[in-house]
Amino acid sequence: MTILSKFSWLALFAVLVAFTAPVQNVAHADEFSKIVQTLNTKSKKKLGKAIDAVVATGDERAVPVLEALLEGKLFYRKTDNQVFITEKSGKVYLLTDPSTGKEIGEATRKEAKKIGINNRLRGQLKGALGGMTLMSPDAEKRLKAANDVFKAGDPAMLKILKKALLREEDGTVKERMNRALAAIELEHAKDLQIRLLAVQKLGEYTDPEVAALLNKIIAGTKDEQLIASATETLSDVESSLASWAIVGNLFQGVSLGSVLLLAAVGLAITFGVMGVINMAHGEMVMLGAYTTFMVQEVFRNYFPGAFDWSLLVALPAAFLVTGLVGIAIERGIIRWLYGRPLETLLATWGLSLVLQQIIRSFFGPTNQEVGNPSWMSGAIETSTGLVLTYNRIWIILFSLAVIALLAVIARRTMFGLQMRAVTQNRAMANSMGIRSGWVDALTFALGSGIAGIAGVALSQIDNVSPNLGQSYIIDSFMVVVFGGVGNLWGTLVGAFSLGIANKFMEPYAGAVLGKILVLVGIILFIQKRPRGLFALKGRAVEA
Amino acid sequence: MIRQPFILRILQDRLASFILGLLLLSAFLVPALNLYVSPESALHVPSYVVTLLGKYLTYALLALSVDLVWGYCGILSLGHGAFFALGGYAMGMHMMRQIGDRGVYGDPVLPDFMVFLDWKELPWYWYGFDNFGFALLMVLLVPGLLAFIFGWFAFRSRVTGVYLSIITQAMTYALLLAFFRNDMGFGGNNGLTDFKDILGFDLKSDGMRASLFFLSAMAVIFGYFVCKFIVESRLGRVIIAIRDAESRARFLGYRVEYYKLFVFVVSAVLAGIAGALYVPQVGIINPSEFAPANSIEIVIWVALGGRGTLIGPIIGALVVNYAKTYFTGALPEIWLYMLGGLFILTTLFLPKGITGTESIAQSFENYRLKLARWLRPHDFPDLNKEPAE
Amino acid sequence: MKQHTDTILYLDSVSVSFDGFKAINNLSLYIEQGELRAIIGPNGAGKTTMMDIITGKTRPDTGTVLFNGDTALTELDEAAIANLGIGRKFQKPTVFEHHTVFDNLELSLKGNRTPFESLFFKLKTEQRDRIDDVLKTINLQDARNQEAGSLSHGQKQWLEIGMLLMQDPDLLLVDEPVAGMTDAETIETARLLKDISKNHSVIVVEHDMDFVKSLDCRVNVLHEGSVLAEGSLDLVQSNPEVIEVYLGR
Amino acid sequence: MKKTVKTLLGAGAIALSGLAATAVQAADTIKVGVLHSLSGTMAISETTLKDTVLMMVEGQNKKGGLLGKKLEAVVVDPASNWPLFAEKTRELIEKEGVDVIFGCWTSVSRKSVLPVVEELNGMLFYPVQYEGEESSRNVFYTGAAPNQQAIPAVDYLLSEDGGGAERIVLLGTDYVYPRTTNKILRSYLNAKGIKDADIMENYTPFGHSDWQTIVADVKKFASAGKKTAVVSTINGDANVPFYKELGNQGIKAEDIPVVAFSVGEEELAGLDTAPLVGHLAAWNYFMSVDAPENEEFITAWKKFIKDDKRVTNDPMEATYIGFKMWTQAVKQAGSTNVDAVRQAMYGQKVKNLTGGVAVMNTNHHLSKPVLIGEIQDDGQFDIVWQTEGEVVGDAWSDFIPESAKLTADWTYPWVCGNCSKPNFEKMPTN
């Protein structure tokens, strides 16, 4: 942004501030507050009209009022039906006068009541606010405003939109404003040429909303020239959308794969490396998710400002908690059962029942709320209709980081060396001075700990309930076995190929049939390669 | 070494003969006490108990079938619930057709759930199930056929160990999802229910209950003898050989896959029979029977009772299910601790299951010797010793 | 294809590799009817893999394996090859541990191997006599009703050989039969094998030079998957290449 | 050794006596069976209802019990295992001798229990919204039938206030309730002039957790230029990941509103609802309703459960109404005899927690008001629409041809749950 433009924004801001100062608007204030009072109505129809009236005042104080209404912060007091903007503070609401912007006291939950809106009004409000914030100094707000104006499609916005466009410097915002302009022109202009031009302009934007608009125009007009032009543009937009949809599908597949990978990777250690058929693996994931919940509770109560960091604390916490539980399980139960892998199935199944019930006893059977930090909420929405949600992106990256870390531990550390030594030849490892008991315990702890941090990640996309683990255990075993037991690389490739296969099947076969096909696929695949994707070959197999 | 006659060999197994005797006795006694003793009497067995025991017995047969493949042939099937459920569905379909126009919509052919999903005609795979004989055939054939196809592929490809276990899980899981689908025409999640009668006998009558109990008890005894016959034959020794050293058996010229296939199919058929007896007694069959967790539970009954013995799984199924009934009623909030704890403690302290434990077996032995002396004080042969050649 | 009527086993330019590692490299080998042959070689020379190929456990990438002159073994699986008349003893003694010695031998009896047949199988008197004979041969009469799992290591080795005898194969493949045996047992085993070779063809894979010497037969030295030398033990042992392989590293 | 035998025999004797205990009815209490899963997949929803019944029982006992006797709750755990539901029902009625059962959540559990209560002439109160198409003499349905939830919700979506939807996506878990509801809705929508091309139907398995594709599909479907809305019959566990995906993919309520029939306060408790503000749910009860009865109920609940954050929901109100009606009917009948109480149930009135009065009809379904609420950022619902009066629960839907013919009425002259003509048509005329 140039210095000049910065200056011009500052100037505008100054004007706005000056304009909103109540002193200069005393005469105006009464009328405005009267109109604001009309917002207090039970009838949604009347409320809609009242909103229009508030907008029509052109008063800058209207923006905070309408925003409050949109966010559910506009209340009326039961005693005198006065309308207030409120802010929740503990158990009471702080009341602000909408016309003066001054705080004038507080009210309890019983004394004040929210002015409710519905989706139609919400759309109306957003459009109106869009028009009013098109010239906001904040580029992000202007971008949002431009999108809201596009959606509202209100011809009354045309004027202000054009004005805002002249002033706009930011490329992205300008593009969005142009899109909104073209949309309004296409829908409401009388002149055919303008409409045809608008179709062409919209053709540059390949997003589903444009497609929706074009569809609407095609259905709504009788003008053949317009229909032809819109249809042509639409097919362009749609074909481009279709090819982006494949990218989207791939992303979804990779994302599902990363979830499977996270769920399975701990099992790849306890089951794949140690040979323990660990039916309580899912419960380790669940414990990780509950640890996240606990950590977030602490943050909510003591450091609400740092909530975004809660997951970073939850990761080591979950690793520690599940790792310790893992050690306890290994020392208490599993070590007595080495060499009897099927009996570990029995014992760990019992254990999983007990762990679920413990959680149920302590936290209750209902879902616990685990929040998404702001950097994991929302999505990258490209202008091509492709939506990449942040939580999925983070989970993909996280799963890869986990597997990389594991690879490093297994190959580059002393512990990794000992771990491999013990699992390959226990007696030999013992005779070389490795305390195999401890290596077992730590290996199991590592697997459990990894399951725990997987729980942190899964808490971001799934229920946090005592049943969390159960829903992943079967998939985890499928992934490990499909990839080849004892092979981390196999687990990685297995998880992603199952995820992608599932997601590419889903649009054609539906979610249920898609999953069935994947399962049948696994069964057939195992016929072809009875030891999974990355099986060891040669003599070692028989051992 | 001379092999003793079959029946003598069974008597040789004290625990087994005790349990089987008990089973045979109750097969007659329980229905009699239910039907012919007045409800006021302390000896009366209420219908509730009759069906409950009947249900346990079908589970016992199911456990027995798992033990045949797992305990003797080393094939850990984590999908046996599927065969059980298929047998159950076959029986359920028959009873569904038997409802006829007594359903809520009064359609003479279509089951209620089809009417209400607006289906116009019966899907082809429902044909024939109105015939009891055909349904019985399907009870045997459908699980058997699935086991045959699945086993044919899996054993020929030499899928073994956990790989096999996991694909059996995948099989039952896939079937679970498939049967959940309403489009499949098996009643979706609700499954089949609202049964009225079999062969004209009202399912709710005490006589029918007692008969079903009797049949279940007989089925367990029958299943026991079938399994006993198999494992005592040379084929039984071959499958144990396969369990212990598969490649040795192969290099001796045994086609391991055929042997595995044989016991797998037999076992699936037994499981199917169990399912068919189960459904009329509980009154509902739905896809949750396919749930992978159910199949794992069956394995646990076997492990708890003692695998590789034929009587162990029967005891295991009865004990675990009785415990479940008791705990879910008496301690509804904490019964999972009890059950989970039971599984953990048994594995740690009774590694061979209940029947494998010396002291219990020993106490049964003492009990039997006392009984024997009392019955025939003079010439009761000590079957433990080899007869002199 | 040339007929080899007097060769019981014919391997011609057989190769197999695992993940790029050539376990068997262009191996050719001929065994005559009724011959006793010893195969020696350092660890990883491909001895066991060679046996795997002959018995159908491993499929070669290239090459021909013929049995009795005209039966291509590469097309068949283990059970079919065993039923053709090739018996194999593993390096690690493998017996059915939960069966008695008697049952182990009974299961190895030559005869029909289908499940149906074995379901209704009854032991005939002559078969019982045969088992008794073999029990005598392998010196395990006293252990007949013992569980095989409770036998000593050497006894298991003999039992496994006994099981091969029950199979009555034309060709026996014996992998390290005296590993872990006492000297007395070793001598006894050598005697046993020589005895067997009177009416069977036998291939013995072994490390123990003294034992091989006591067998007194033709010897092949395997190295890196192919035959390095062939001839009598003395001849082979004086071969400089063989010395290089055995002592040079 | 002897000791072992003795112990064994002793254990066996105890076991048998436990099994064989006959239906002995203690004279001094009235037994109330509670048949809700406390473990397994459904525990998440059903445990709350168990607690609700316990609270009601406690409350009634504080008021002096019923007919001069104390109430005694008999709780069992059917463990989300459908055949176990049947077994436990039998146990409750035959062995424990309960006079009434409050229980079940899923349709399949009810179907499993149905033959048993009918055979033993028990009485079951079923408190959850369901697909209808049933009326049993031994069951009282206090949850919503489709016409008390689905139809009004769709009416709202199509109305101007609801956004005037012209294209509808029917998303559901693949089981009977969504299938039937959607069947009814489709025929209702057709009647409203919405063509099949403008209706998309999609089913997912239970506990489906990966909603990326489906949410993307919905977006695509919505891009046809007509106002689109989603009707969700997605069940329990799958909802949280579904709404998380909705929020993250930026589907705003004013663009594509989602109205759900299985999402209540309890389901939202595990969720940050800020991105979901404006999405809808249709119920007969919302916790946020401003009524004195509701306030009293919420206070009592929080006190009973000793947790200030616990929420209340629709099935809890249904349990509340069912329980109150039952106590009133018992008082009126002067007995807990099932046949007597059943007769007394008809026309029984209980004040709704949301105001108005619920009435038990002779088809064993309630008349209740229908409310539509918008999700708020605090996990509560804001009521945006409600029916003028109470809607009569319809056992047999008018929108399924086979079912439209049927009538449920358990009083004279019908005395039938599924008849096309009365059982006693020819009334004595003189």
Q: Which residue has the higher pLDDT, D32 or D401?
A: D32
Closest alpha carbon within chain A to B301: A346
Whether B238 sits inside 8 A of C118 (CB atoms) is: yes
For the segment B293-318, the average pLDDT, to the nearest whole number, is 90
Q: Please report the pLDDT score of residue A435 as a whole number.
A: 83
Instruction: Let me know if residue B114 belongs to a domain.
Output: yes
C in contact with D (at least 3 C-beta pairs within 8 A): no
Closest CA to A76 of A123, A104, A37, A102: A37
Alpha helices (H) along B157-203: 161-180
pLDDT at D340 over 90: yes
Closest alpha carbon within chain A to D245: A461
**Direct distance between the N- and C-terminal alpha carbons of chain B, in angstroms, rounded to an integer:** 8
Long-range CB contact pairs, A304-312, < 8 A, 24+: A307/A371, A307/A373, A308/A373, A308/A374, A308/A375, A309/A373, A310/A371, A310/A373, A311/A373, A311/A376, A311/A456, A311/A460
Q: Which residue has the higher pLDDT, D12 or A97?
A: A97
Tokens encoding A373 = 């930090």
Q: Please report the pLDDT score of residue D11 as a whole number.
A: 45
The alpha-carbon gap from D121 to the nearest alpha carbon of chain B, in Å, equals 12
Give the 3-state secondary structure of residue D426.
coil
- pLDDT by residue (tens digit) across B326-375? 998 888 888 899 889 988 888 888 777 777 665 555 556 665 666 666 55
The alpha-carbon gap from C181 to the nearest alpha carbon of chain A, in Å, equals 21
Q: Please report the pLDDT score of residue A15 as a whole number.
A: 43
Alpha helices (H) along B3-101: 6-12, 14-35, 47-70, 80-99
DSSP assignment letter at B226: H
Whether A72 sits inside 8 A of D377 (CB atoms) is: yes
Q: Please report the pLDDT score of residue D238 as a whole number.
A: 85
Give A-chain residues touching C21 at CB under 8 angstroms. 538
Q: Which domain holds residue B238?
A: 6-328
Beta carbons of D372 and D357 less than 8 angstroms apart? no
Instruction: Let me know if residue B387 belongs to a domain.
Output: no
Q: What is the residue whose two structure tokens read 């200030």?
A: D308
Closest alpha carbon within chain B to A335: B348
Of B174, B340, B346, the CB nearest to A520: B174
Percent of chain D with pLDDT strictly greater than 70: 92
Predicted TM-score (pTM) of this structure: 0.88
Q: What is the residue whose two structure tokens read 């001054």?
A: A102
Instruction: Let me know if residue B369 belongs to a domain.
Output: no
Q: What is the residue whose two structure tokens read 């899912």?
A: A282
The alpha-carbon gap from B284 to the nearest alpha carbon of chain D, in Å, equals 6
- pLDDT by residue (tens digit) across D208-225? 888 988 998 898 888 877
Q: Please report the pLDDT score of residue C159 as a whole number.
A: 92
Query: Which of B104, B208, B335, B367 best probes binding to D when mutated, by most D CB atoms within 10 angstroms?
Result: B104
Q: Which of A40-54, D51-65, D401-415 has the highest mean pLDDT?
A: D51-65
pLDDT at A352 over 80: yes
Sheet containing strand D199-204, strands side by side: D199-204, D167-173, D228-233, D258-260, D280-283, D371-375, D381-386
pLDDT at A180 over 60: yes
Instruction: Let me know if residue B381 belongs to a domain.
Output: no
B299 has a chain A CB within 8 A of its CB: yes
Beta strands in B237-327 (DSSP E): 284-285
Beta strands in B123-252 (DSSP E): 192-193, 197-198, 201-202
Closest CA to D364 of D342, D349, D397, D338: D342
Closest CA to A107 of A128, A89, A126, A133: A89
Q: Please report the pLDDT score of residue B269 as a whole number.
A: 97
Interface subset of A 480-539, CB within 8 angstroms of B: 481, 485, 512-513, 515-516, 519-520, 522-524, 526-528, 530-532
The alpha-carbon gap from A509 to the nearest alpha carbon of chain C, in Å, equals 38
At A294, the pLDDT band (50, 70, 90 cuts) reads very high
pLDDT at B67 over 90: yes
Q: Please report the pLDDT score of residue A23 as a whole number.
A: 43
Q: Does domain D148-291+372-392 have CATH number 3.20.190.10?
A: no
Give the 3-state secondary structure of residue A242.
helix
Whether D223 sits inside 8 A of A511 (CB atoms) is: no
For the segment A395-400, the average pLDDT, to the nearest whole number, is 95
Whether D148-291+372-392 and D29-144+292-367 are alike in CATH topology: the answer is: yes
pLDDT at A339 over 80: no
Give C-chain residues touching B245 at CB under 8 angstroms. 94-97
The Cα A118–Cα A48 span in angstroms is: 10
Q: Please report the pLDDT score of residue B9 as a whole number.
A: 60
Percent of chain A with pLDDT strictly greater than 70: 93
Q: Please report the pLDDT score of residue A208 as a whole number.
A: 81
- pLDDT by residue (tens digit) across D214-262? 998 898 888 877 889 999 999 877 888 898 888 888 888 888 999 999 8
DSSP letters, A166-185, are HH---HHHHHHHHHHHHHHH
Closest alpha carbon within chain A to C58: A538
Give D-chain residues touching A258 at CB under 8 angstroms. none
The alpha-carbon gap from C218 to the nearest alpha carbon of chain B, in Å, equals 26
Give A-chain residues touching D223 at CB under 8 angstroms. 208-209, 211-212, 215
A in contact with C (at least 3 C-beta pairs within 8 A): yes
For the four alpha carbons of A534, A535, A539 and A541, in that order, the dihedral sign comes to positive
- Residue contacts between B and C (CB atoms, under 8 Å): 80
For the segment B225-254, the average pLDDT, to the nearest whole number, is 92
Distances C110 to C82, C83, C169, C175 between C-alpha atoms, Å? 10, 8, 9, 21
At B386, the pLDDT band (50, 70, 90 cuts) reads very low
* CA angle (D368, D373, D377) in 5-degree steps: 145
Of B180, B189, B333, the CB nearest to D38: B333
Beta carbons of A323 and A448 less than 8 angstroms apart? yes
Q: How many CB atoms lie within 10 A of CB C187?
A: 15
Sheet containing strand D349-351, strands side by side: D349-351, D357-360, D366-368, D391-392
The Cα A337–Cα A351 span in angstroms is: 14
Closest CA to C240 of C221, C212, C219: C221
D110 has a chain A CB within 8 A of its CB: no
Sheet containing strand C62-67, strands side by side: C21-32, C7-18, C62-67, C71-72
Whether C115 sits inside 8 A of B258 (CB atoms) is: yes
**Direct distance between the N- and C-terminal alpha carbons of chain C, in angstroms, rounded to an integer:** 41
Closest CA to B64 of B298, B229, B354: B298
Residues 6+ apart with CB under 8 A from A29: A22, A99, A100
Distances D414 to A477, B4, D91, D417, D424 between C-alpha atoms, Å? 56, 70, 32, 8, 6
Q: Please report the pLDDT score of residue B10 as a whole number.
A: 59
φ/ψ of A281, rounded to 5, equals -60, -45
DSSP letters, D320-383, are HHHHHHHHHHHHHHTS--HHHHHHHHTT-EEE-TTSSEEEE-TTSBEEE--EEEEE-TTS-EEE
Closest alpha carbon within chain B to C84: B253
Closest CA to B30 of B213, B219, B277: B213
Q: Please report the pLDDT score of residue A282 as a whole number.
A: 94
Of A219, A463, A512, the CB nearest to D205: A512
Q: Dihedral angle at the C-alpha atoms of D280, D285, D287, D292, nearest 10 degrees?
A: 140
Q: Which residue has the higher pLDDT, D1 or D354?
A: D354
Q: Which residue has the higher pLDDT, D268 or D34?
A: D34
Q: Please report the pLDDT score of residue A405 as a whole number.
A: 92
Q: Which domains does chain C have, with CATH numbers?
A: 1-84+217-249 (3.40.50.300), 91-171+186-200 (3.40.50.300)
Q: Please report the pLDDT score of residue B389 as a whole number.
A: 31
Q: Does domain D29-144+292-367 have CATH number 3.20.20.140?
A: no
State the burial class of residue A87 (Cβ atoms within 10 Å of its Cβ: 0-12, 13-18, 19+).
middle
pLDDT at A214 over 80: yes
Closest alpha carbon within chain A to C48: A539
Domain ranges of chain D: 29-144+292-367, 148-291+372-392
At B12, the pLDDT band (50, 70, 90 cuts) reads low
Closest CA to A406 of A273, A265, A260, A254: A265
Query: Which of D50, D210, D378 best probes binding to A when mutated, by most A CB atoms within 10 angstroms?
Result: D210
Tokens encoding D254 = 């004013």
For the segment A333-345, the average pLDDT, to the nearest whole number, is 80
**Average per-residue pLDDT for chain C:** 86
Tokens encoding A479 = 């992934």
Whether A369 sits inside 8 A of D160 (CB atoms) is: no
For the segment A209-213, the average pLDDT, to the nearest whole number, is 85
Q: What is the residue whose two structure tokens read 């009977």?
A: D176
pLDDT at B320 over 50: yes
pLDDT at A18 over 60: no
- pLDDT by residue (tens digit) across D37-69? 998 888 888 999 999 999 999 999 999 999 999
Q: What is the residue whose two structure tokens read 């011609």?
A: C12
For the segment D339-368, the average pLDDT, to the nearest whole number, is 94
Q: Please report the pLDDT score of residue B370 as a whole number.
A: 62
At A34, the pLDDT band (50, 70, 90 cuts) reads confident
Whether B293 sits inside 8 A of A477 (CB atoms) is: no
Instruction: Give me the number of domains chain B comprises.
Output: 1
**Average per-residue pLDDT for chain A:** 85
Q: Please report the pLDDT score of residue B365 as a whole number.
A: 63
* Residue C162, amino acid: G
pLDDT at D2 over 50: no
